Amino acid sequence: MASLRPSILNPLFAAVTTLPGIGPRLSQLVEKLVGPKVVNLLWHLPTGLIDRRFTPKVGDAPPNKIATLIVEIIAHAPPPPRNKRVPYRVTCGDATGKITLVFFHGHQDYLEKVLPVGETRMISGKVELFDGKRQMTHPDHIVPPDQAHNVLRMEPVYSLTEGLSLKVFDKGVAAALAKTVELPEWQDPAYRARQNWTGWHESLRQAHAPKSEAELAPLSPARARLAYDELLSNQLALALMRLKRRKLRGRPLKGTGDLRKKVEAALPYKLTGAQIQTLNEISTDMASEDRMLRLLQGDVGSGKTVVAMLAMLAAVESGAQAALMVPTEILAQQHAETLQPLAAAAGINIALISGRVKGAARAALLAAIASGEVHIVIGTHALFQKDVEFADLGLAVIDEQHRFGVHQRLELADKGRGTDVLVMTATPIPRTLTLTAYGDMDVSRLDEKPPGRKPVDTRLISLERLEEMIDGVKRAVDKGGKIYWVCPLVEESETSDLAAAEMRYRDLHQVLGDKVTIVHGQMKAADKDAAMTAFQTAGGPQVLVATTVIEVGVDVPDATVMIVEHAERFGLAQLHQLRGRVGRGGREGTCLLLYAPPLTENAKARLTTMRDTEDGFVIAEEDLRLRGGGEVLGTRQSGLPVFHLADITVHGDLLATARDDAKLILARDADLESERGQALRTLLYLFEQDDAIRTLRSG
């Protein structure tokens, strides 16, 4: 891809080590903070300002304020030999008074070089009073007076990582900016004029050199312009991928409805209105000539699995096969067990394929799939291994979409001819995030709970009442209850006072013996499965101490109590997923959120939201409001895009405009061949929209 990138961008995609002052050691810190390329520094905008323009005389410099002073170096006082705790001191001054510069672990030869006795230097830093005398500890800047222009300014402050100084990073950003040039304008001229925005290059320069607090705001002109560029690249990339998908030939899969009727008759409840509407949307997509690519968002317990089954039956009714791909072996097993009785009611064959099926059994299973004898196949990513061949794969369903990449989705679809794809997620996603992540898909939402599903009673309880909680758990166990107890860490660490899963397990084991078991992320997969299976089995352990490995999809219908320890440390989406594990079997569920007082305002707002509503979509919007787009849903883990310049909690209007702009651009110039189209290609390269660029190149 790099070879086709416009050469004007090449300096921005060079390694950070090409910047002056960033050698191999510092480059590791810069890479950890922002990334390995020059362009990554440009996207890391300042978070604050230091005003270094205040230049009093030494005798007038007020304490606890940053000042820039012109001083003469009077004397050096190195610490006595072998006494590292005494700092190195340098006395300086002007006609109005003296100030001592203090350096801990200072190197004499270096300090004598930068602060030569008898010469004049400009120093800048915080003035302090110690024993009634002025001092400055580790000045931020020491320069000859002729370099005053580098110091006397509003200095931008950046968020940093340990070991990386502001001075070094600021210098790196200045060098990165020096590598930028004005690029061909990709924005619509009329829109840009209305917004009163400068060009890309000037906006970037202004964003890194704010002159006031107001210019740090996300809606200040320079920052809004850059945010819009990033959002436009995102929306244009998604629109290109959607356009390409529309060009791919699908094939009509029209079910007869016979198998669906049999399964619906076997269900112990009627479908909800939301399920019926979603199935109608899916059936219409499947019956059309175009390939389906639909996202099904279902809140916890909204009945996605049944919708997926009925959709797969439509494919089987039309003579094709269907596949259901899930992220873990436990989930694959669970889906197979849930769907087996429904398949039996319909008189069709379903099979589970996993890494554990080996040898002759695997060969027989692969042959049955390849011959079409198996109608529905359930599995993990084992499904798209080369030796898995389908007779005719008509529909691929992908559960917990955010655990799989786009390429895995395509690999599975490529195992069939014009295969329809339905992706599902149990994590409700705010509407703005849906636009940025799934704009290439059609979206359905299940926002109703099946009848008979009782609300979960959610309570907030202080950890000061822990002993009472353990007594309550013992009483619930005596009555036959099944209980989850979730902890945020696996074992005690010196830096953390959190109750760890291992420790909580030991405490509960003393009270309950073998009625308690444990599952955490550092266990082997087979041990995890064994503990989960034991907990699911009647007569097995009744309390499961766990880390968040149980968050998604694990189904134990008898579990009625969910205890989350240090709930204030969890995100809203995570707490909502955990609560969804209980009250599934028709019995009322209870969720106890244990917190350590005092709570921050943010934590209090999160826990109160959990107590007051069970609507996952309301919770998702609140999560976005409280945490911002960068962190919501654990963005980095969830396959949602990470924005550097845009914040969709603030830039929602710009996102909507970018979406409309992208549609209009492709309606007029689908191949981006016009003058503006060529500039937009540069924009896609600038924001590394690789998939969209591949789409353009492949025509």
Distance of CA 162 to the CA centre of its chain: 22
Q: Which of 698, 679, 695, 699 lies closest to 232, judged by CA?
A: 679
pLDDT digits (tens, 9 = 90+) for 269-278: 889 999 999 9
Q: Residues 197, 201, 207, 209: what is their CA dihedral angle, to the nearest 10 degrees?
A: -120
What pLDDT shows up at residue 632?
Answer: 46
pLDDT digits (tens, 9 = 90+) for 146-163: 999 989 999 999 999 999
Q: Is residue 657 part of a domain?
A: no
What pLDDT shows up at residue 1?
Answer: 44
Q: Does residue 344 surpass a pLDDT of 60?
A: yes
Q: What is the CATH number of the domain that holds 361?
A: 3.40.50.300
Q: Is residue 628 part of a domain?
A: no
Q: Is residue 408 part of a domain?
A: yes
31-35, 158-162, 466-470: least confident range = 466-470
Q: Is residue 602 part of a domain?
A: yes
Q: Which amino acid is at 353?
A: I
User: CA neighbours within 13 Å on the CB side: how many for 187?
Assistant: 25
Classify residue 272 by its DSSP letter: P
- Percent of the chain residues past pLDDT 70, beyond the cut: 93
Mean residue pLDDT across the chain: 88
What pLDDT shows up at residue 20?
Answer: 92
Position of tokens 């107590």? 611
Pair 291, 410 in one domain: yes
Higher local confidence (pLDDT), 414 or 685: 685
Q: Is residue 246 part of a domain?
A: no
Q: Is residue 38 part of a domain?
A: yes
Pair 471, 603 in one domain: yes
- Cα separation, 579 vs 456, in Å, equals 8
What pLDDT shows up at residue 407?
Answer: 58
- Cα separation, 689 vs 648, in Å, equals 18
Q: Does residue 406 surpass a pLDDT of 50?
A: yes
pLDDT digits (tens, 9 = 90+) for 160-199: 999 999 989 999 999 999 999 999 999 999 999 999 999 9
Pair 264, 381 in one domain: yes
- Cα separation, 401 vs 379, in Å, equals 14
Find the domain containing 319 and state its range. 258-446
Pair 330, 401 in one domain: yes
Percent helix, strand, coil in the chain, to 5, is: 45, 20, 35
Q: Does residue 373 surpass a pLDDT of 70?
A: yes
- Cα separation, 184 vs 677, in Å, equals 10
Q: Strand, helix or coil at 123?
A: strand
153-157, 207-211, 243-247: least confident range = 243-247
Q: Which of 566, 623, 620, 634 lies closest to 594, judged by CA?
A: 566
pLDDT digits (tens, 9 = 90+) for 284-332: 999 998 889 899 988 777 888 999 999 999 999 999 999 999 888 878 8
Task: With beta carbons less than 8 A apart as the criterion, state whether 423 and 398 touch.
Answer: yes
Classify residue 147 by its DSSP letter: G
Q: Does residue 519 surpass a pLDDT of 60?
A: yes
Q: Does residue 585 surpass a pLDDT of 80?
A: no
Q: Does residue 553 surpass a pLDDT of 70?
A: no
Q: Is residue 567 part of a domain?
A: yes
Report residue 591 as tokens. Answer: 């969720």
What pLDDT shows up at residue 268?
Answer: 85
Residues near 641 by beta carbon (within 8 Å), at least 6 away in sequence:
234, 436, 437, 635
Q: Is residue 576 part of a domain?
A: yes
Task: With beta carbons less than 8 A apart as the criterion, state whether 483 and 542 touch.
Answer: yes
- Cα separation, 184 vs 200, in Å, equals 9
Identify the H or E element spanning 369: helix 359-371
Q: Does residue 255 surpass a pLDDT of 80?
A: yes
- Cα separation, 657 vs 402, in Å, equals 26
Mean pLDDT value of segment 353-360: 84
For the chain, report the end-to-end CA distance as a whole number of angstroms.
15
Q: What is the CATH number of the domain that holds 89?
A: 2.40.50.140
Phi, psi of 513 (to 5 degrees): 60, -135
What pLDDT shows up at residue 189?
Answer: 96
End of a domain among 417, 446, 475?
446
Pair 266, 329 in one domain: yes
Q: Which of 248, 396, 379, 388 lies closest to 320, judged by CA?
A: 396
Pair 462, 580 in one domain: yes
Question: Phi/psi class of residue 480: alpha, beta or left (left: φ > 0; alpha: ψ in -120 to 50)?
Answer: left
Classify residue 99 by its DSSP letter: E
- Cα separation, 659 vs 437, in Å, equals 12
What is the reported pTM?
0.74
Pair 363, 500 in one domain: no
Pair 304, 409 in one domain: yes
Strand partners, 157: 48
Strand partners, 459: 592
Number of C-beta neighbours around residue 661 at 10 A = 21
Pair 24, 98 in one domain: no
Length of the chain: 699
End of a domain among 597, 613, 629?
613
pLDDT digits (tens, 9 = 90+) for 620-655: 888 887 766 544 444 444 556 779 999 888 898 999
Q: Residues 671, 641, 601, 217: what is their CA dihedral angle, to the nearest 10 degrees?
A: -40
Phi, psi of 299 (to 5 degrees): -65, 165
Report residue 27 as tokens. Answer: 């480059």
DSSP string, 36-84: SBHHHHHTS---EEEE------GGGPPTTEEEEEEEEEEEEEPPPTT-T
Mean pLDDT value of segment 92-120: 95
Confidence of residue 381 (pLDDT cuts 50, 70, 90): confident
pLDDT digits (tens, 9 = 90+) for 421-448: 998 987 777 777 777 777 778 889 888 8
Pair 183, 148 in one domain: no
For 276-316, the three-class secondary structure string (H helix, E strand, C coil) is: HHHHHHHHHHHHCCECCEEEEEECCCCCHHHHHHHHHHHHH
Report residue 105 as tokens. Answer: 């672990």
Task: With beta carbons less than 8 A apart as the criterion, state whether 577 and 552 touch.
Answer: yes
Pair 351, 483 in one domain: no
Q: Which of 245, 126, 233 lies closest to 186, judged by CA?
A: 233
> β-strand 120-130 against 133-137: which pairing, if any?
antiparallel
Q: Which of 590, 536, 585 lies closest to 564, judged by CA?
A: 590
Please tell me the total count of domains within the chain.
4
Task: With beta carbons less than 8 A apart as the criterion, state whether 297 and 401 touch.
Answer: no
Q: Does residue 401 surpass a pLDDT of 70?
A: no
Pair 511, 602 in one domain: yes
Q: Which of 592, 645, 600, 646 lies closest to 626, judged by CA?
A: 600
Q: Which of 125, 126, 119 lies closest to 151, judged by CA?
A: 125
End of a domain among 392, 426, 446?
446
What pLDDT shows up at residue 692?
Answer: 81
pLDDT digits (tens, 9 = 90+) for 1-27: 445 889 999 999 999 999 998 999 999
Q: Which of 287, 295, 280 lies closest to 242, judged by CA?
A: 295
